[in-house]
A and B are shown apart, each in its own frame.
Chain A
Amino acid sequence: MLSLSKPFLHWMVLPTLLVLLAIIGYPVVSTVYLSFFGYNLLDFTPPEYLGLGNFKDMANDRIFWISLKNTLYYTGGTVLVSMLIGTAVALLLENLKGPVWSCVRAFVVSPWAVPFVVVAFLFRFMYMQNGGIVNDILLDLGVITNPVSWLNRADISLGAIIVANIWATTPFFFLLVSSALSGIPDAVLESARVDRAGLWSTIFHIKLPFLRNPLVVGSLLMVISNFNDFAKVWVMTQGGPGYATTTLVVYVYRMAFERFEIGYASALGLIWLLLLLLVSVFYIRLLWNRQND
């Protein structure tokens, strides 16, 4: 083993530690601190200690629960469906070689390079009730008889945003699974062929086990990134109609920067942090269990 001196390595970690402490450590501590206070920036009065008041308010805050539910739908729906489609397309394209198929792969991946804000504007444009291409095509196909106002109906607006989000997220899973598939040793696939394993049993018994860890890590990354996703919802509906598409990010943003209720917003943030930590612990355990097998 290489013997690097400890003091040297300590010094190397220092810059990162200091910066993290300043830009993340301090804000987190102050979030925890502020979550026990009533603090409105517009009041120009010092924070007022409320104890657990903010958290009690939260329990009775209907909008908080709605936004929590919306966040779960938004994240869960997006990650599950994108993972399925991405995996399926990766498996279908796996054995197709040549320049044409490389080109197809590049196209399939391209939505990932579209900025979130652009995704949002683009789908908002396509979803328009009058003159939107989605309605135009569906009307021509006879699927619907009247133009649908996709983003203005409380029952379908969240679904419409999720569809846009799936469009943007699928390439990640496609890339992930493609690269994991290419990492499966040839000998393993060869022995499956010798055993005359069928298509489906090859996929389920040989390939999927190799995909497990990448998918666990990948979906964790996407769960986190979708939990945090602000741009798409904000640009498409601003959380409306009513609160039908208000996710936690949108709610905290409104609380902090439209009503300037910093204390309550901090309490919301804290609960959220705990939620994400819970999800992360769950995921890490999934990975560890695997490694200990």
Chain B
Amino acid sequence: MTDRSHHIGGNRSAARRILGKTFQYAFIAIALFWTIAPIYWMLSTSLKTELEATRLDPSLVPENVTLDNYVRLFQGDLPFISFFVNSVITCFLAAIVSVVIAVPAAYALSRRNFRTAEQTGYLVLVVRMFPMIVLLAPLYLVLLNTGLLDTMFGLILGYTTFGLPFAVWMLKGFIDAVPVEIEEAARVDGYRQWEILLKIIVPLIYPGLVTTGIFVLMEAWNNLIYPLTFITSIEKQSLPAALVLTFTGQFKTDWGGMMAASAITTLPLMIAFFAVQRSMVRGLTAGSVTGT
């Protein structure tokens, strides 16, 4: 593309192409600034001293780089580590539970040619569109009456309300991509039905399982309203909810500490996300993107 020497007569079109390129790069530069600037600001603030972080005339680059804010998180009065652990445990379990329950259903829906499956398919689709808030009050009452309020189990149950339908739908997309012929061959080889699912399908869609699990995990990690309502004692609280609840107290004006806490909250999600981002879109929009 660099060899344009034969375009001698095309001065105008060359000029237009250069203008177009300039425009393209300028737009990309703006987009890049727009996405990176806030993340940069979070990280750089988290590395500033308490005083510098809240200065009236903010410094673009930290003048005295310090890890103090991070150290304080883990040594302060707040059980920051247990918030983190609480979130990891509940979100992981919610992801695993959702995926494990969803696999057989997704398989049946994918290979469906019977009415129950079709109806279940619609049901799952409708449920996937459910406003979580509709479930909030009744679910709260259920947990209250069963003594599950303020327990991790109750919270996991809450996460499963959106995790399971998502998992079924995403996994169905992944199983759809597995050719039926493979199963038929396995059947000829004498595999039984459950063996086909466990020994043929599951290993084949393993990346899909991970993607789906991570997606549920991200949704759960993001969720604020369930932990805020279902968990009442602070030491059992999830990380995002704890940030919200404590900001009125300890972090009130400590933006350096707040940004350090934010960075720690973001890190696991960032790692998980970049591990699976490609297949995630495919799973999310199962079947609607051409070529999948």
Which A residues contact B (CB, under 8 angstroms)?
A: 1-2, 4-6, 8-13, 15-17, 19-20, 23-24, 26-28, 30-31, 34, 85, 88-89, 92-93, 104, 106-118, 121-123, 125-126, 130-133, 136, 167, 170-171, 175-176, 179-180, 182-185, 199, 210, 213-214, 216-218, 220-221, 224, 227-228, 230-231, 234-235, 248-249, 252-253, 256-257, 262, 265-266, 269-270, 272-273, 276-277, 280, 287
User: Closest approach, in angstroms, between the C-beta of B55 and any C-beta of chain A?
Assistant: 6
Of all A-B residue pairs in the complex, the 6 with the closest CB atoms, nearest first, are: A183-B291, A16-B105, A27-B138, A113-B273, A12-B104, A117-B240
User: Closest approach, in angstroms, between the C-beta of B20 and any C-beta of chain A?
Assistant: 8
Assess whether A122 is in contact with B259, with CB atoms less than 8 Å apart: yes
Chain B positions 32-52 with a Cβ under 8 Å from a chain A Cβ: 32, 34-36, 38-39, 41-42, 45
Give 1 or 0 for each of B137-163: 1 = CB within 8 Å of chain A CB: 111111000000000000001001100
Q: A104: which B residues are within 8 A, CB to CB?
A: 28, 32
Tell me, yes or no, whether B72 is within 8 Å of chain A by CB.
no
List, sorted by A's number, 7 A–B pairs whose CB atoms are closer than 8 Å: A13-B108, A23-B139, A30-B138, A104-B32, A109-B277, A114-B270, A216-B288
Assess whether B247 is in contact with A121, with CB atoms less than 8 Å apart: yes
Number of A-B contacts (CB under 8 A): 280
Q: B15: which A residues are within 8 A, CB to CB?
A: none
Tell me, yes or no, whether B136 is within 8 Å of chain A by CB.
yes
- Measured in the bound complex, the distance between the Cα atoms of B179 and A194 in whole Å is 36
Assuming the contacts A113-B269, A175-B277, A272-B134, asked whether A93 and B28 have C-beta atoms less than 8 A apart, the reply is yes
Assess whether A114 is in contact with B56, with CB atoms less than 8 Å apart: no
Assess whether A231 is in contact with B131, with CB atoms less than 8 Å apart: no
Assess whether A277 is in contact with B281, with CB atoms less than 8 Å apart: no
Q: B270: which A residues are within 8 A, CB to CB?
A: 110, 113-114
Closest to B31 in A: A89
Assess whether B255 is in contact with A179, with CB atoms less than 8 Å apart: no
Q: B113: which A residues are within 8 A, CB to CB?
A: 1
User: Closest approach, in angstroms, between the C-beta of A235 and any C-beta of chain B?
Assistant: 6
Q: B105: which A residues are within 8 A, CB to CB?
A: 12-13, 15-17
Q: B291: which A residues are within 8 A, CB to CB?
A: 182-185
Give 1 or 0 for each of B168-195: 1 = CB within 8 Å of chain A CB: 1000000000001001100100000110
Which B residues contact A (CB, under 8 angstroms)?
A: 20, 24, 27-28, 31-32, 34-36, 38-39, 41-42, 45, 54-58, 101-102, 104-105, 107-109, 111-114, 116-117, 120, 123-124, 126-142, 157, 160-161, 164-165, 168, 180, 183-184, 187, 193-194, 197, 218, 221-225, 229, 240, 243-244, 247, 255, 258-259, 262, 265-266, 269-270, 272-274, 277-278, 280-282, 284-285, 288-292
Assess whether B28 is in contact with A276, with CB atoms less than 8 Å apart: no
Q: A218: which B residues are within 8 A, CB to CB?
A: 284-285
Closest to B247 in A: A121
Q: A180: which B residues are within 8 A, CB to CB?
A: 289-290
Assess whether B112 is in contact with A117, with CB atoms less than 8 Å apart: no
Assess whether A13 is in contact with B290, with CB atoms less than 8 Å apart: no
Assuming the contacts A125-B258, A176-B285, A224-B129, asked whether A28 and B35 have C-beta atoms less than 8 A apart, the reply is no
Q: A272: which B residues are within 8 A, CB to CB?
A: 131, 133-134
Most chain A beta-carbon contacts within 10 A, residue among B55, B112, B137, B277: B137
Assess whether A227 is in contact with B39, with CB atoms less than 8 Å apart: no
Assuming the contacts A1-B180, A24-B130, A273-B131, asked whether A256 and B136 have C-beta atoms less than 8 A apart, the reply is yes
Q: A20: which B residues are within 8 A, CB to CB?
A: 123-124, 127, 164-165
Q: A125: which B residues are within 8 A, CB to CB?
A: 41, 45, 255, 258-259
Q: B165: which A residues are within 8 A, CB to CB?
A: 20, 24
Assess whether A8 is in contact with B28, with CB atoms less than 8 Å apart: no
Q: B24: which A residues are within 8 A, CB to CB?
A: 92
B129, B132, B290: the one within 8 Å of A183 (CB): B290
Q: B137: which A residues are within 8 A, CB to CB?
A: 31, 34, 252, 256, 262, 265-266, 269
Q: A221: which B residues are within 8 A, CB to CB?
A: 284-285
Q: B277: which A residues are within 8 A, CB to CB?
A: 109, 175
Assess whether A26 is in contact with B138, with CB atoms less than 8 Å apart: yes
- Measured in the bound complex, the distance between the Cα atoms of B42 and A89 in whole Å is 24
B38, B109, B117, B284: the one within 8 Å of A122 (CB): B38
Q: B138: which A residues are within 8 A, CB to CB?
A: 26-28, 30-31, 34, 266
Q: B184: which A residues are within 8 A, CB to CB?
A: 2
Assess whether A114 is in contact with B269, with CB atoms less than 8 Å apart: yes
User: Closest approach, in angstroms, between the C-beta of B189 and any C-beta of chain A?
Assistant: 14
User: Closest approach, in angstroms, between the C-beta of B264 and any C-beta of chain A?
Assistant: 10
User: Closest approach, in angstroms, between the C-beta of A47 and any C-beta of chain B?
Assistant: 11
